Chain A
Amino acid sequence: MWKQPAPANSSFNEYNTFPLPQTQRGQSSHAHGPVGHTQQPLVTGTSVLGLKYDKGVMIAADNLASYGSLARFRDIQRLHPLGKHTLLGVAGDMSDFQWLKKELDALLREEDALALTDSHPSLSPKNIYELLSNLFYARRSKMNPVWNAVLVGGWDKVKEESFLAYVDLLGTTYSAPTLATGFGAHLAQPLLREAYEAKAGIDGEGPLLTQEEAEKVLEDCMKVLFYRDARSINKFQIATITSEGVTISDSKSADTYWKFAEGLRGYGAQTQ
């Protein structure tokens, strides 16, 4: 999903399917048209998974920040709590993630300060989500995107219900009981939906997964992603958001199975 940075002089994308915007070569000094800073992502995080279960929401993400194909930083926490009832799981450019953290932490600090002096209600997960949606869409409309895909998970104290939604660099928004970004959308989403619908049914009216069941399916998905996503590592965290608060696990690894491959040889007729 987050590709190798394009060389400076490329005219087309890697598969020559569309032209790339060209910066003006031969600068002129008169009035310019609209200026975009579209960028490319450099240090990136891969899939984030989200799942509603009986007590609230769980969000999972691995601990890797890649630099193209280099597994550059292997101890990055991509799950970020906001207050006591919201958590962001962030994929995409990590510098934009760090900027988001700074901005949102500052905002929440202000809100907390206001709450001290009057009966100012705290920001609900939905409020934070709406803010992010508007921010992302506004930035994309100025051709200067925040190059991330974010899952917002939370527990709404007032409505007493769980919250889970997606927003990305294009300003696309989407909410569902199971969500995933990047490779996860292709590989994990079907597994998450299967587990969710096995209990809740196709209409979602039935019972939700228990904590153990939810954790198991997320771990299973992280295992599959480690098998098939070349920008992942087998070290991840799972965050849980319930009425009790936000908990982020220590990092863990999925058990992987490789023994079946011992006897495989070659790519065709080779037997040795």
Chain B
Amino acid sequence: MANIHTVDITRLKNGEVNLGTSIMAVQFDGGVVIGADSRTTTGSYIANRVTDKLTHIHDRIYCCRSGSAADTQAVADVVHQHAQVYTSVYGEPPTVSTAASLFEKMCYDNKDQLSAGIIVAGWDKEAGGSVYNIPLGGGMFQQPWAIGGSGSTYVYGYCDATYKEGWNEEETVQFVKNTLALAMSRDGSSGGCIRMCVITKDKVERHFIPGNELPRFWEGKEIIGSMSGQKVGIVA
């Protein structure tokens, strides 16, 4: 019999739940905008169609989770605790960079066991808004904008072609909304609603776009039905 002693980590274990996902975070002058879809799947069953993938780490630090729901929740919970302890010990909130490093440590040291793609973003007084992408493997990459999750593969082109530096909050929100809508429309593992968070010095403002109000783009040709064998006569 072929090798039965290894587990293929590219496949979910029996019953394991997956954050299929499209997530992103974009930095602008004054803060960041983070966003995610709301679909959690077990295979092709949608276990939760209204998930909140934008997880609070600290007052002005959030993370977007993709990959295994269990793994990302476990890691986020630990980092959340570290952030609370940091605040108690140092009397001030950790920077986004520090929070990202805490994620990096967990994801790198446990890289063989984890299936977690995380984007950390927020505002702190040292750097203003910043975005850190921590993909599978546990490397940490600071970027002005980051996309992640299975749906992100479909929107690299759109993001590269559209992104501009120097946008204000409203333009950034629009960019995130459109990108996620495109990813959700092609990726079967992403969908539902768009949840976004604008994080600045002064506020953490949630935005919610219900699934029936998503931006729409080209969705294929119009499909006209047909009739055959019908008797003559038009029904009013």
Q: Give chain A nearest CB distance to B130 CB in angstroms.
A: 20
Instruction: Given A248-B226, A265-B52, answer yes or no on A255-B212 (Cβ-Cβ < 8 Å).
Output: yes
Is the CB of A1 closer than 8 A to any CB of chain B?
yes
Chain A 59-70, CB-CB to B under 8 Å as 1, else 0, gives: 000010010111
Q: CB-nearest residue of chain A relative to B11?
A: A14
Distance (whole angstroms) from the CB of A55 to the closest CB of chain B: 13
Per-residue CB contact flags for chain A residues 249-272 toward chain B (1 = under 8 Å, else 0) read: 111000111111110111110101
Looking at the complex, which one of B2, B7, B55, B186 makes contact with A266 (CB distance below 8 Å)?
A: B55
Rounded to whole angstroms, the CA-CA distance of A84 and B3 in the bound complex is 55
Interface bin, chain B: 35 or more
Q: Are B188 and A230 in contact (CB under 8 A)?
A: yes
Nearest CB on A from B117, distance (A): 15
- B8 is an interface residue with CB less than 8 A from chain A: yes
**Which residues of chain A are near B101, meaning CB under 8 Å?**
none
Determine if A74 and B12 form an interchain contact, defined as CB atoms under 8 angstroms apart.
no
A11 touches B45 (CB 8 A): no
Cβ of B128 to closest chain A Cβ, rounded Å? 21
Q: Let me know if B95 is at the binding interface, CB within 8 A.
A: no
- A247 within 8 Å of B (CB atoms): yes
A230 CA / B2 CA spacing, docked (Å): 32
Q: Is B222 positioned at the interface, with any CB of A under 8 Å from its CB?
A: yes
Q: Name which residue of chain B comes closest to A15, CB basis.
A: B14
Give Cα A270 to B206, complex, Å: 14
Choice from A10, A230, A245, A255 contacting B229 with Cβ under 8 Å: A245
A-binding segment of B26-34, B134-142, B172-180, B189-197 = B189-197
Does B227 touch A at the CB level, under 8 Å? yes
Binding site of A, secondary structure by majority: helix, strand, loop or mixed?
Answer: loop
CB distance from B135 to the nearest CB of A (A): 18
A81 to chain B: closest CB distance in Å? 5
In Å, the complex CA distance between A251 and B219 comes to 12
CB distance from A158 to the nearest CB of B (A): 15
Q: Once bound together, how far apart are the Cα atoms of A66 and B38, in whole Å?
A: 20
Q: Find out whether the CB atom of B211 lies under 8 angstroms from the CB atom of A84.
A: no
Give 1 or 0 for each of B208-236: 1 = CB within 8 Å of chain A CB. 10111000000111111111111100000
Residues of A within 8 A of B210 (CB): 258-259, 261-262
Quick one: which of A84, A248, A262 contacts B208, CB cutoff 8 A?
A262
B219 touches A261 (CB 8 A): no
A111 proximal to B (CB < 8 A): no
Contact B226 A270 (CB under 8 A): no
Q: Which of B13-56 contact A (CB under 8 A)?
A: 13-14, 20, 38-39, 41, 43-46, 49-52, 55-56
Least Cβ distance of B145 to chain A in Å? 23
B20 touches A230 (CB 8 A): yes
Give the distance to chain B from A226, nearest Cβ to Cβ, in Å. 9
Once the chains bind, are A84 and B229 in contact (CB under 8 Å)? Answer: yes
Supplied contacts A259-B210, A267-B69, 17 more A-B pairs, CB within 8 Å: A11-B3, A14-B11, A22-B2, A70-B186, A75-B219, A77-B223, A84-B229, A230-B39, A230-B41, A230-B46, A231-B188, A237-B225, A245-B231, A246-B229, A257-B212, A260-B50, A261-B208
Task: Name 19 A/B residue pairs within 8 A (Cβ), A-sorted.
Answer: A1-B44, A11-B3, A14-B12, A19-B1, A70-B154, A73-B220, A75-B223, A77-B223, A84-B228, A227-B46, A245-B229, A247-B227, A250-B223, A251-B225, A258-B192, A258-B211, A258-B212, A264-B50, A272-B204
* Chain A interface (Cβ < 8 Å from any Cβ of B): 1, 3, 7, 10-12, 14-17, 19, 22, 63, 66, 68-71, 73-75, 77, 81, 83-85, 183, 227-231, 235, 237, 244-251, 255-262, 264-268, 270, 272
